[in-house]
Amino acid sequence: MKNKITDLFGIKYPIIQGGMIWNSGWRLASAVSNAGGLGLIGAGSMYPEVLLDHIKKCKVATSKTFGVNIPMLYPNIEEIINIVIQQKVPIVFTSAGNPKTYTQRLQSHGIKVAHVVSSVKFALKAEEAGVDAIVAEGFEAGGHNGREETTTLTLIPMVAKAIQTPLLAAGGIATGQSMLAVMLLGADGVQVGSRFVASEESSAHQNFKQRVVDSEEGETILTLKELAPVRLIKNKFYKDLENLYQKAPTKKELKELLGRGRAKRGMFEGDLEEGELEIGQVAGQLESILKVEEIIENMIKEYNEARRKVVEGEI
């Protein structure tokens, strides 16, 4: 499975674990890297000192390469950038901001930079900023998401055609079949989120993990588009939002209902009613909480089995 992405990051399989808030601590990231993928610590839900602690623990837990995901709208962004540089974190995935801002500075310290986009337009901007890899994420992805609503199936071929930079597909991928599918469409690898939420090593609350594997097709929705579009499970909090939407709310009213700490409350503290439960559409495919090692082994088995079907003419 050697390709542009495995070469770039020095990993065995072109499988990146998305650095998701409240889910992606050192346990998850190191487990993914140890299993042959690339684990990312999710800085988006960590104070700088918490991130520093996770980076240090991750280094102890794996001798393999790992990275940090940094949403650039983070209030302590300068401090976070300094920590990853000082700690010589080898790989940084940036999202939610302008890739020009930090790419060169990080690269000048030998850090490989990937940037997450949701459209062809932003993929071109990321390439112009000189990033080492681009993650193109479709509408089906969990959590914060693009405004274009382009799905992974349609987005990947268009981005692949527009850029030369190594490309990771994200959104809707939890199996080896879907991994091979997006690679046929032009991706060099995948970024997987939801599947790793429902892993033993994820730092999500057990209630949330269970809710994810219990959920069925059609249970998530992209909402709060007036603030920042986010895909979540339709729970009580979402019903409250829906009721508010009936009244044509202002942004301020939406912000007030959202309040602070909803995502933490839902995903980290396990409040399935009042919390914000961010997850992708692919949650409907997940049936059990697995160890990271099993998740990656399954994906590779499925990928090889899908390849075999093509090779032997079954498809």
Question: Where on the chain is the footprint of a second copy (CB under 8 A)?
Answer: 119-121, 138-140, 148-155, 157-158, 171-173, 175, 177-178, 180-186, 216-218, 221-222, 247-248, 280-282, 284-285, 306-307, 309-311, 315
Interhelix angle 48-61/77-86, nearest 10 degrees: 30
Q: Give least dist CB 123 to a second copy, A.
A: 9
For a second copy, give the closer residue by CB, 12 or 264: 12
Rounded CA separation 214/197 (Å): 13
Q: Give least dist CB 67 to a second copy, A.
A: 24
Tokens of 280: 């992708």
For a second copy, give the closer residue by CB, 19 or 142: 142
Q: Give least dist CB 147 to a second copy, A.
A: 8
Contacts 24+ apart (CB under 8 A), 125-128: 125/98, 125/99, 125/100, 126/99, 126/165, 127/163, 127/164, 127/165, 128/100
Residue 241 amino acid letter: L
Q: Give least dist CB 177 to a second copy, A.
A: 5
For a second copy, give the closer residue by CB, 73 or 184: 184
Rounded CA separation 306/182 (Å): 13
Rounded CA separation 92/131 (Å): 10
For a second copy, give the closer residue by CB, 30 or 150: 150
For a second copy, give the closer residue by CB, 52 or 221: 221
Mark 46-85 as b/e (b = at least 16 C-beta within 10 Å): bebeebbebbebbeebbebebbbbbbbebeebeebbebbb
For a second copy, give the closer residue by CB, 50 or 310: 310
Q: Give least dist CB 209 to a second copy, A.
A: 19
Between β-strands 66-71 and 39-42, what pairing exists: parallel, antiparallel or unpaired?
Answer: parallel
H or E element in which residue 15 lies: strand 15-17
Rounded CA separation 258/241 (Å): 8
Residues 165/178, Cβ–Cβ less than 8 Å: no
Sign of CA dihedral 66, 20, 141, 36: positive
Q: Give least dist CB 273 to a second copy, A.
A: 22
For a second copy, give the closer residue by CB, 110 or 218: 218
Q: Give least dist CB 315 to a second copy, A.
A: 5
Q: Give least dist CB 136 to a second copy, A.
A: 10
What are the beta bridge partners of residue 40?
67
For a second copy, give the closer residue by CB, 187 or 290: 187
